[in-house]
Amino acid sequence: MDKLFNLVRFDKRYVLFCLILVIIGIVCGSLFIVILNSSDKSLVIEYIETFIDTIKNNNFNYIDTLKNTLIINYLVIVIISILGFTYFLVPLNILILFYKSFVIGFSLSSFILVYKIKGLLLSIVYIFPHLIINILLFSLLIAFTLKLSIKMINSIIKKKDINMRVYFNKYLYTGLFIFIVLTITSLYESFVTPYLLKLVVNIL
């Protein structure tokens, strides 16, 4: 158990930094809708209404959504992992985390823009719990890449070797866990979320 704990333990400083970045990204995404011009807002409204109408009219393609969701989530994890071992590109992971958080915030405000009070409930159904779980998983992995990059930079400066096998093992176990959870959240997003959205729309 101690060995397993050491493998999955994360440095709280880096995790806290990532969580603060997530909050900033969500806030910025939520406020971004305010600065959009009328034509851009119209596009957002049209997209959201089309999305909801597709679900209401039972035209939603669950299998294609699952495929796309899995591909995107897996690709993000692979990119984050690869960038993690190239310490000079790790700042790109920070941009990825901010972007994913920004999208969550923008989605929330978009639903509210279209459906007002009802949109708040729709946005919660749309992002919770799967997207929140996903962003937390991305945060943990990116926190690990940040720590690894700092270690690599210090080893270069101080001309000391680091045991990459330890980090590789942690990457392996962490990555496997994240892949499993992402598969579950992708299934939820593709099959459960559309049903809940349709239920909320019909009730309200």
Q: For residue 46, what are the contacts with CB-CB under 8 A and spacing of at least 6?
A: none
Mean pLDDT value across residues 113-119: 87
* Residue 183 forms part of a structural domain: yes
**Cα separation, 60 vs 72, whole angstroms:** 19
- Whether 143 shows a pLDDT value over 90: the answer reads no
**Cα separation, 36 vs 113, whole angstroms:** 12
- Whether 27 shows a pLDDT value over 50: the answer reads yes
Cis check: omega of the bond before 91, within 30 degrees of 0: no
* Residue 81 forms part of a structural domain: yes
The answer to whether 48 and 111 are in contact (CB under 8 A) is: yes
* Residue 2 forms part of a structural domain: no
* Residue 5 forms part of a structural domain: no
Lowest mean pLDDT among 1-5, 20-24, 36-40, 94-98: 1-5
Residue scoring higher pLDDT (124 or 81): 124
Total count of domains within the chain:
1
* Residue 3 forms part of a structural domain: no
Tell me how far CA of residue 18 lies from CA of 22, 102, 197, in angstroms.
6, 13, 30
Q: What is the pLDDT confidence band of residue 149, given thresholds at 50, 70 and 90?
A: confident
- Domain holding 142, by residue range, is 10-203
* Residue 30 forms part of a structural domain: yes
Amino acid 10: pLDDT = 58
